[in-house]
Structure 1
């Protein structure tokens, strides 16, 4: 099985395809009959890439050149397309233009701090995006300055803004029931997806990548093994974006999730007698575009008379309901496919606080002021004066 970040995919004709993102932004496509063969082909190509393989960055170069070469090394080393897109946008739109001018001709503690302030002061950027940009900037600096005396002070100058503790969007129980009723009244094959998300918490990309063969009706489980995403296409002669099927967000995102009995019954009734390699939402060998499904979801919300929210609110709703029902945080984290439990704790801190309040209120009822004193007759003789 291919691993996260490899850019290796199994084609519908049975062959394996390997993709290597070259420094010019174009992909090199390699093909083989087995996973082992395509891995070997990719390794041989990268080892003998010659001019396509950039040398390690040299600190004597100007900063713009250093960051550009770091970006090229990311392309050759085969990072995930979505990750490379983030790196590309950060370097081309912010870092390289900033370090092109004469006032920032060297990477120093001062110039790095100046860039951090410029990003933090940019009112056009959200706090979350500022944090992402500075995180990528720090990743690049760590690689460029590795082993140098300047590394520690420069890295110290790049301090990421603290993440905002924003409350997640969640459907109320009434709203969830309205949405579910609207879905069940529809004859659209895509309706199953919304219910799957409400009762398993899977991500939109994971839902669009779900195949009928991923649902084990005997075991009552669903396997999450891939994701669909639309990313920037670096081929100028083709469309601006491309729909890619790859591995999920992290290793923990590859998981099996138990399905409730009513969902298994509903899915079994909707399952066509088609190839199990076909995708659930599209019913074909090609996955449904996540953007298309988001539009369908908005129509369902309108039909249900429920306030418009992002699709990800379904995932947050699942997690909130699970906590309300007493599901422990470790189990919830595994179902959601978070890389670690701390991510789950940070996202759902508000929901956890609500559960703590309920628990404390139960203890409060044990307090002596709530007791019926007629149950404890006490004579004056035993009460010291």
Structure 2
């Protein structure tokens, strides 16, 4: 599927094709072409081709840089520094929210009022259903814009707005917590219908581990003799190469932060309960018993 303004298409043979203007003849555009196996491979080749033309012509001034051009440089520099899941999240925020609204705007003409209007529009009518986005998502967009403009300053590109002055109001929401009675009812049901899945729910209840950490947990991470479990990994489902195909893959990576790698004590009664279902092999996943 082509993305408006980018001239990148998926061909019938499964490859991606990108075109760019490499010159003009008789006032008509002359196109160059690049090819690749994925959308992002072609986009990067296209970006390098345009960049090389720009360097050769020497005609572009920093005042002519659009936010999209700065974003291309930012993604190129950022990709090796962050986890793949984080990189995909940045791409989605850029592709779905920032680029359509601000991608074509010259950075030198970007003002605080543009950003504030952009944030208001996202909060009021953003998203697929046009029902507005959460404050957290809009804050992520502002963070991304701030990082990109910080790179623009490093590249001596004129930046006239101060995103430190742009804030997104965070709404405080009440956290729903089980009462003692609700917890007792849940535990009775899980114990009377005991299974690996229900043991996982109990484990989350007793230790506070995240769902992704539970999915990545292996029996080898649990020491029943010492009654502890070690959280070392998390499981995530992320998008693959392009936001348009909506294909995903499962990844097991390090937890959210280095502080998330931790050792958690287990209640004695629960450790005994786990011992009754511990498989012979300690190399399998906790929820399935399979490697």
- Specify if TM > 0.5: yes
Map residues 300-379 of structure 1 onto 2, 5 A cutoff.
Answer: none
Structure 2 stretches of 5 or more lacking a match? 1-36, 42-47, 53-60, 126-130
Corresponding residue to 1:212 among 214, 219, 229: 219
Are 1:250 and 2:265 matched, yes or no?
Answer: no
- Aligned equivalent of 1:324: none
- Aligned equivalent of 2:287: 281
Are 1:179 and 2:186 matched, yes or no?
Answer: yes
Structure 1 stretches of 5 or more lacking a match? 1-21, 27-50, 286-385
Task: Compute the displacement of 1:62 (Å).
Answer: 1.6
Are 1:141 and 2:149 matched, yes or no?
Answer: yes
Inter-partner Cα distance in structure 1 for 2:244 and 2:174: 43
Higher strand share: 2
Task: Compute the displacement of 1:260 (Å).
Answer: 0.6
Task: Compute the displacement of 1:153 (Å).
Answer: 4.4
Are 1:79 and 2:86 matched, yes or no?
Answer: no
- Aligned equivalent of 1:196: 203
- Aligned equivalent of 1:94: 97
Q: Which has the higher contact order (CA 8 A, sep 6+)?
A: 1
Contact 2:39 2:242 in 1 (8 A): no
Change in CA separation of 1:283 and 1:247 when aligned onto 2, cut-off 3 Å: same
Are 1:63 and 2:67 matched, yes or no?
Answer: yes
Contact 2:232 2:262 in 1 (8 A): yes
Other structure's SS at 1:25 match: helix
Inter-partner Cα distance in structure 2 for 1:265 and 1:129: 43
Inter-partner Cα distance in structure 2 for 1:223 and 1:251: 13
Report the count of equivalent residues: 234
Other structure's SS at 2:203 match: helix
Corresponding residue to 2:110 among 101, 107, 111: 107
Inter-partner Cα distance in structure 1 for 2:275 and 2:121: 55
Cα root mean square deviation, aligned: 3.1
Contact 2:123 2:134 in 1 (8 A): no
For residues 248-271 of structure 1, the C-alpha deviation after alignment (integer angstroms, 9 at most, x for no partner) is 011100000111101110111110
Inter-partner Cα distance in structure 2 for 1:137 and 1:236: 19
- Aligned equivalent of 1:154: 162
TM-score scaled by structure 1? 0.54
TM-score scaled by structure 2? 0.70
Inter-partner Cα distance in structure 2 for 1:192 and 1:119: 41
- Aligned equivalent of 1:163: 170
Contact 2:197 2:287 in 1 (8 A): yes
Other structure's SS at 1:242 match: strand
Task: Compute the displacement of 1:118 (Å).
Answer: 3.4
Larger-Rg structure? 1
